[in-house]
Amino acid sequence: MSISFELNGQPVSLDVDPDMPLLWAIREKAGLTGTKFGCGIAQCGACTVHVDGAPTRSCSTPVSAAKGTKVTTIEGLAGKTAAAVQASWQKLNVVQCGYCQSGQIMSAVALLTETPKPTDEDINTAMSGNICRCATYHRIRDAIHDAAKSI
């Protein structure tokens, strides 16, 4: 079955099983590998993408749910907020191993889009579902605050 949606600003039509997780459709059918597989049960956040602007766990979202939507992956992330987050991530040397960072950045951009001047509590709540095995949480929080200053 063909599922059509917008992927990083471009129309796509993927001939896939409608129950295939959006993650695998993005990675294996569209060839965009920046979105990572972590747990497969929507608990770690490595697979986070934006669907119509909302952070979404693509490992547990069937590709059929993306029909007619706008899906943005780390490769298509753009705009002032995204640039501020990415610059702060580099400036504050957030990344250690880097595996979870595409999901972390996608969640941070969604947070700052909704809450441009977040408190620590806002950040903790928004980022609580994103696991970092390297435990760079304090650097992630600092980078989000830093990015908020430049938006």
Of 76, 106, 132, which closes a domain? 76
Number of structural domains found in the chain: 2
As a whole number of Å, the CA-based R_g of the chain is 15
Domain boundary among 48, 76, 104: 76
> What CATH number is associated with residue 66?
3.10.20.30
Q: How confident is the model at residue 40 (pLDDT cuts 50, 70, 90)?
A: very high
Instruction: Check whether residue 70 and residue 7 sit in a common domain.
Output: yes
List pLDDT tens digits, range 41-83: 999 999 999 999 999 999 999 999 999 999 999 999 999 999 9
**Same domain flag for 19 and 53:** yes
How far apart (Å, rounded) are the C-alpha atoms in residues 128 and 134? 15
* Domain match, 92 and 40 both: no
What is the pLDDT confidence band of residue 1, given thresholds at 50, 70 and 90? Answer: confident
| Distance of alpha carbon 151 from alpha carbon 138, whole angstroms | 20
User: Judging by DSSP bridges, how do beta strands 10-15 and 48-51 pair with one another?
Assistant: unpaired
Domain of 123, in residue numbers: 80-149
Q: How many CB atoms lie within 10 A of CB 6?
A: 16
Residues 101-146 pLDDT 10s? 999 999 999 999 999 999 999 999 999 999 999 999 999 999 999 9
12 vs 63, 65, 84, CA distance in Å? 12, 14, 28
The Cβ of residue 72 has, within 10 Å, a number of other Cβ atoms equal to 24
> Residue 110 and residue 102: Cα distance in Å, rounded?
12
Q: Are residues 22 and 85 in the same domain?
A: no
SS3 content of the chain, % helix, strand, coil (to 5): 40, 15, 40
Assess whether 13 and 70 both reside in one domain: yes
> Please, are residues 22 and 89 in contact by the beta-carbon 8 Å criterion?
no
Per-residue confidence at 11, pLDDT binned at 50, 70, 90?
very high
Single pTM value for the model:
0.96
